[in-house]
Amino acid sequence: MEFVLNNIWLILLWAMSGFMLFAGDLRGRLSGIKQITPQEAVRLFNHEDALVLDVREQSEWMDGHIAKARHVPVGQLGKRSGELDKYRTKPIVAVCRVGNRSAHACSVLRKAGFENVLNLDGGMVAWEQAGLPKEK
């Protein structure tokens, strides 16, 4: 009990960070956006001609991205979604750093009429942890 009282702020910080991680994942699941693994994404790229849509900021994009990805930062997606019209019938895999911004991007695309949008669960972090290549 003494440990808890002496470290209450540390414990609260730990609990809040855990909640934030869980809430991001839960938000994606409740929105009906399908979460896919990096391996599932590779299968879609190779066999179903899926579009990789990287919604990170320019500086993140320059640090490395998935080959053949299309770059549209999430903040510009609403006004630039028309650029993706030819992909309306194809799978679109949205990617960000960890999967939160890309989940939001999937929601924006769904509202714009895109039906087959998927979120790369864990984003580029999961992609890199899976040992998959990226280009600059």
CATH of residue 63: 3.40.250.10
**Nearest-10 crossing angle of helices 8-30, 100-111:** 30
41 plus 71 within the same structural domain: yes
Can you list the positions of beta strands (E) in 6-116?
34-36, 51-54, 70-71, 92-95
* Range of the structural domain that residue 108 is part of: 33-129
98 plus 53 within the same structural domain: yes
The structure's pTM equals 0.78
- Check residue 9 and give its pLDDT: 82
98 plus 123 within the same structural domain: yes
Digitized pLDDT (tens) for each residue of the chain, 136 residues in all: 777 677 888 778 787 776 666 655 555 454 578 999 999 999 999 999 999 999 999 999 999 999 999 999 999 999 999 999 999 999 999 999 999 999 999 999 999 999 899 999 999 999 999 999 999 9
- Check residue 30 and give its pLDDT: 46
96 in catalytic set: yes
105 plus 118 within the same structural domain: yes
**What is the rounded distance in angstroms from the CA atom of residue 15 to the CA atom of residue 75?**
29
- Check residue 31 and give its pLDDT: 57
In a domain? residue 135: no
50 plus 24 within the same structural domain: no
| Residue 135 phi, psi dihedral angles, 5° rounding | -125, 160
- Check residue 26 and give its pLDDT: 52
- Check residue 63 and give its pLDDT: 95
In a domain? residue 136: no
Of 96, 103, 105, 120, the catalytic one is: 96
120 plus 54 within the same structural domain: yes
Q: Which run of H or of E encompasses 78?
A: helix 77-80
125 plus 72 within the same structural domain: yes
